Amino acid sequence: MKPFAVWVVSAFAFVQLVTSFLDFNETELSFLESLEYGASKINYNPLMVGLTLIHTAGAKGAVCLDGTLPGYHWHRGYGSGSNSWLIQLEGGGWCNNIRTCVYRKKSRRGSSMYMEKEIPFTGILSEKAEENPDFFNWNRVKLRYCDGASFTGDSENKAAQLQFRGQRIWLAAMEDLMSKGMRHANQALLSGCSAGGLAAILHCDEFRNMFPRNTRVKCLSDAGLFLDTVDVSGGRTLRSMYSGVVGLQGVQHNLPRICTNHLDPTSCFFPQNLISHIQTPLFILNAAYDSWQIQSSIAPPSADPHGYWHDCRLNHAKCTPSQIRFLQGFRVQMLNAIKGFAMSRQNGLFINSCFAHCQSERQDTWFADDSPEIRNKPIAIAVGDWYFDRAGVKSIDCAYPCDKTCHNLVFR
């Protein structure tokens, strides 16, 4: 057995955590997204890739919350991967009302003015074969997230000087990349983490339809399986949040019609109501005890005014037996949500029993000597086996605490 791993969030991330919790219903700049560019034990000198602004986007009205141009980071493919494209949609929560979107537009999640000029490419974005065995020499693109509605909104609020143009950003970016060679792709993978993982689900069939039928096109959602679940107070914190996002940002017009024909728009922002209808092969990678969902949907401070869940929320080892039972119930809900989806041979699954969030972009969880496994298969190999049809992958872990390969997140 590999040694049990625990990953501790820094004091800086904890400050973000506290800020997020004090104002959860109003701001969704998730503390967990601060892990996105965290240093990896494996890759001390990651490839740094510069930001490209999409200069044709402005004329299309495809702009960030503050009206600035959107952008992406692109590392060119070579050799056998020169005509293969991986599009990674950045995550980073949502904004659900004017106040939080105004706050957001003063950050990298709402303005390219605040985006890093270059970012590290690790995990599924790494250029090293020993770190990313199947996609290392592909064209790898990270599309930056600056709209606050998982690349689906199309509206504006002139009084607050807010542009909700996620759908236009998505289309402008795809058009720009097509002009730079993606139209010649012989294979493509749309992926994303967290809010970007949700976006990968929402845009999956749209992405497929941009290519000829003989192009291999598939989608990967990492930590994007956000459940419409009851929180510890009996309320529905995340449904309330999503209702605000969908209503404020004009999302309903860009949701899959096969869902909105029979469900309300907010329900159609939840992946559990979408995944069985997606025609394109889709891989769902998710921790059964998703750290973000525990922190912000299941047991947020707003649903726990007396702080009974405070310690458990920060460290699963401090959960009481009754709290663990509640979390086991959440895992069962997740497994029930994917039952129909799992029946399709073309789809893939990797649901590990870890307290984690976003495992494809971090080198330590994607592919390393001690990365998480299910039945001796790490995430990178599972995704590659599924993408290239080397093997069917429907990997569902036994319940906590059986998995000793997890890189569990602990906050303090």
Predicted confidence (pLDDT) per residue in 28-67, tens digit = 334 444 444 343 455 579 999 999 999 999 999 999 999 9
- What's the pLDDT score for residue 26? 32
Percent of the chain's residues with pLDDT above 90: 89
Which of these is catalytic: 150, 194, 221, 360? 194
Q: Which one from 75, 203, 357, 407 is the annotated catalytic residue?
A: 357
Average pLDDT over residues 139-168: 98
Beta bridge partner(s), residue 118:
50
* Sign of the torsion formed by the C-alpha atoms of 256, 283, 384 and 31: positive
Least confident of 16-30, 205-219, 253-267, 347-361: 16-30
Binning pLDDT at 50, 70 and 90, where does residue 8 land?
low
Does position 5 have pLDDT exceeding 80, yes or no?
A: no
Residue 337 pLDDT greater than 60, yes or no = yes
Residue 357 catalytic? yes
Instruction: In whole angstroms, give the CA distance from residue 402 to residue 1.
Output: 11
Q: Are 271 and 333 in contact (CB under 8 A)?
A: no
User: Quick check: 142 pLDDT over 60?
Assistant: yes
What single DSSP character describes residue 68? P
User: Which contacts qualify for 375-381: CB closer than 8 Å, 24 or more apart?
Assistant: 379/285, 379/350, 380/124, 380/132, 380/133, 380/134, 381/133
Phi, psi of 248 (to 5 degrees): -70, -40
Q: Which of 407, 259, 283, 290 is nearest to 341 (CA)?
A: 283
CA distance 129 to 378: 15
Q: Which of 147, 154, 205, 290 is catalytic?
A: 290
Distance, CA of 266 to CA of 41 (rounded, Å): 39
Among 200, 202, 191, 176, smallest CA distance to 254 is for 202
CA-CA-CA-CA torsion sign (147, 151, 156, 157): negative
Average pLDDT of span 123-147: 98
Please tell me which of 4-8, 42-46, 359-363 the model is most confident about, judged by mean pLDDT: 359-363
pTM: 0.93
Residue 9 pLDDT grade (very low, low, confident, very high; cuts 50, 70, 90): low
pLDDT in tens, 166-213: 999 999 999 999 999 999 999 999 999 999 999 999 999 999 999 999
Q: Which residues on neighbouring strands pair with residue 71, listed in sequence order?
A: 53
The pLDDT, as a whole number, for residue 158 is 97
Question: Using the 8-state DSSP alphabet, how is residue 70 labeled?
Answer: P
Task: Evaluate if residue 375 carries a pLDDT over 90.
Answer: yes
Residue-wise pLDDT tens digits, 64-102: 999 999 999 999 999 999 999 999 999 999 999 999 999
Indicate if 277 belongs to the active site: no
The mean per-residue pLDDT over the stretch 293-306 comes to: 97
Q: Which pLDDT score, from 0 to 100, does residue 25 have?
A: 34
Position 258 scores a pLDDT of: 92
**Active site (annotated) includes residue 290:** yes
Q: Which residues are registered as beta bridge partners of 237?
A: none
Alpha helices in 91-165 (DSSP H): 98-104
Closest to 293 (Cα-Cα) out of 270, 277, 259, 266:
270
**Mean pLDDT computed over every residue of the chain:** 91
Any residues with CB less than 8 A from the CB of 179 and at least 6 apart, and which? none
Instruction: Return the pLDDT at 134.
Output: 98
pLDDT band at 7 (very low <50, low <70, confident <90, very high): low
pLDDT band at 6 (very low <50, low <70, confident <90, very high): low
Mean pLDDT of 260-274: 97
Tokens of 68: 């600035």
Indicate if the alpha-carbon torsion angle 71, 77, 82, 83 is positive or negative: negative
Q: What is the pLDDT of residue 44?
A: 72
Residue 174 zone, left/alpha/beta (φ > 0; ψ -120 to 50; rest)? alpha
Cα separation, 43 vs 39, whole angstroms: 8
pLDDT score of 17 more than 50: no
DSSP class of residue 260 equals H
Nearest one of 367, 356, 365 to 409, comparing CA atoms? 356
Is pLDDT of 12 > 80?
A: no
